[in-house]
Structure 1
Amino acid sequence: MKIVAKTALASVVALALAGCGGAEVKTQVDLETDSHRHAYALGTVLGDEVKSNLEHLASTGITLDNQVVLAALADALNGETQLSEDQVQEAVMELVELSTSLAEAESALAGQRNLEEGLAYQRENAAREGVVVTESGLQYEILVAGEGASPVAEDTVTVHYEGKLIDDTVFDSSYERGEPIAFPLNRVIVGWSEGVQLMNVGSKYRFVIPAELAYGEQQRPGSPIPPNATLIFEVELLEIEAAE
């Protein structure tokens, strides 16, 4: 969560500037001198950072009064703030806690929706011809049968793959990167480890991996995979490097 990651000082700056992005103010300035260009560049960097914070706050349901924010900014630049340093810090922490609480509540609701939609997708997929459901709940379908060896959990495998959400959003693909990837099977999510061990070299499988065999209910920072997401992978097993 961006605002939580800020230092106290950065949070104060972000709070003071947050309303600028929405203010209907546009001033033409002379950018002919180096000093003015440097000042404008600094303002642009701050403005972009504040815009990001403002958008985050808005996504959690928090709106700030632009006029109050602009007044506070002017006061701060003139050294005439109406709140003490302690009061500013207290208000910023309240804002951080509120935004965190609202974001967590929204994440929980989204996770529940994802779980229910994923279960419905799994039921539908399990009814398709050729789909096998293992005891753990992993679903697989053989797209191309291979005749090579099968790996064990300690082996390192080389694969090509594409990962998607149930709405067909591709979140990862070795095909798009143009090269396969190698990894130990005991270092990946449970669904991957179990599924790839079912394969033979030269085969291509389609896996539907329930959330509990993937990343569960946690939202990983920066990840395109939402909480409680059911994942779909098409995997080609190219090579096995046996564990020593």
Structure 2
Amino acid sequence: MLSLKTQLIQKTNTRSFTLGLLKLSKPNSSQQGISLLECLIAITVISVVISAFTPPIFLAVATQIQNRRAEQAIQLAQGEIDRVRSITERLDYANTDLPPVGATIVEQQSAPSGATTDRNSVSATTGLLVDVNGDGTNDFVVQTYRNDGVPDSSGKRVAFYMGVRVYAAVITQNYGLLENPPQRSASLTLTTALGSQKRRPLAVMYTTITHSDDRNSLCNLQKFLGDLNGSGCS
């Protein structure tokens, strides 16, 4: 007959062994896999989040690209005005060095009907293709034109209105979609993809060009401004 102490030890060992088996048979909660339903819920939540955030991201990126192009277009337009202004400051320029003559009122000039890389063959309704990045791909179409203006005694135009429009190069494939005349530019607006660049210029500038280094410059300017009597002319 076993002693009481021996029986107690056996019962303790049996209980410990039983608890050990139960622990081994019960899976660890940290090692359990996720169910198919939980996978579907997670996929649905991720899809909803992506769908909600993707359109604003596309809108922001497209708008940023268009505004950057608009800045480049403004620089091109201003550069063209500065180029013509510097020409008129010379004494030996000819009318062929100036922008082509368009409508009597420059603001009513039609939109470009073509594009060329040769400045000498640019007409008032033709744009000049410009590659600003030097990668061999045209980025812009620059349309420069003027009204007839006021001539000096030799027939050289010494005062005239000048207009510049800068379009994205995509208009070479969409001439039929251009607004004529453009009511406003396509820049500084929220957009997706190309937005209104297919129909509107990115930059529009108008200015007055006068040749001022001449003794008759004041008289010519008065005539240009509408004082046909030329009061003050010598």
- TM, length-normalised to structure 1: 0.30
Structure with bigger gyration radius: 2
- TM, length-normalised to structure 2: 0.31
